[in-house]
Structures are given as C-alpha cells and as structure tokens.
Amino acid sequence: MAKLLQRLQDPKRSGVYRSGRVDEIAEAVSGSSLGLVRIVINGKPALLRAIAKALEFPDWFGENWDALEDCLTDLSWCEADGHVLLFEGIGALALDERGTLIEVLASAAQFWAGQGKPFFAVFIDPGRALELPDLFREA
C-alpha cells in the first residue's frame, strides 16, 4: 500500500487510469491528506450531480461539461492536498459521453500536475474494457 500511496501523492503521475479494485485504493489513501471520492455513474445528468455533491461544488455549477472542467480546475473550496476520484459504472454512459468525461478529467489532471498537486481519476474497470493505463499492478 505504501507504494500506491506514494504514487497517488506524486503530482507528476496525475492522470486518468483504470483499476479493478476499489478497496486497495481506498485503503492506501485512508489517513492521508488526499481527498477520496467515490462516484457511481448512472447517466450524464446524475453523474454531473454526483461529482458536484462529492466535491461540494459551488451553487453556480452549471451541470455541463464546460462547468465541470471549470470546477475541477478550481477546487479552491477543498482543503485536501490532492484528489482521487473513483468512478464506478462507466457502462452507463454513451461512448461519446465517456470520451468527453475522460477528456475533461485528463485536462483537470494536467492542470493540477502543473500546480504541483496530485489529481487522479480512476475508473473501476475489472474487465479492462477501457483503453486507459492501469493505476497499479494488481496481484
């Protein structure tokens, strides 16, 4: 777990990944200064609301992709030293929506890496259907 936490605390490794396991990530982050949120995807509108609620977005959040990117590259209201977002149920999104979500998350990760703050979006994908790099090698 120490290696996984070390990886998640490294801003240079910020990005969008996949993993088959929630428990190891949650355990690694537990007790650290990283903020961890779990988001279950149930279609685009519910997804945007779930992210907004989990990250306590301001009232002005417009529930669209542009507003999501704006909020994810601000997060001034969050006190965590970095962020780990775990997404479950990617199959509930249409393919174009999946692509847009991944692009928005990758843009936010790149922004935060440039700020020296870790930001990881991890899709729980035990079947390895997503063409994303693995967060870590699983036993």
Contact 33, 81 (CB under 8 A): yes
Residue 131 is assigned to a structural domain of this protein: no
Nearest to 112 by CA among 4, 35, 32: 35
Does 103 fall in a domain? yes
Q: Is 67 part of any domain?
A: yes
Q: 82: domain range?
A: 2-124
Give the residue-averaged pLDDT of 3-15. Answer: 96
Mean predicted confidence (pLDDT) in 53-66: 94
Angle between helix axes 95-114 and 65-72 (nearest 10 degrees) is 20
What is the Cα–Cα distance from 122 to 94, expressed in whole angstroms? 18
Domains contained in the chain, number: 1
Report which secondary-structure segment, H or E, holds 85: strand 82-88
Burial class (CB in 10 A: 0-12, 13-18, 19+), 78: middle
Which CATH number belongs to the domain containing residue 107 in this structure?
Answer: 3.30.370.10
Residues 32-55 pLDDT 10s: 999 999 999 999 999 999 999 999
pLDDT at 139 over 70: no
Mean pLDDT (whole number) for 58-67: 94
d(CA 79, CA 76): 8
Q: What percent of the chain stands above pLDDT 90?
A: 91
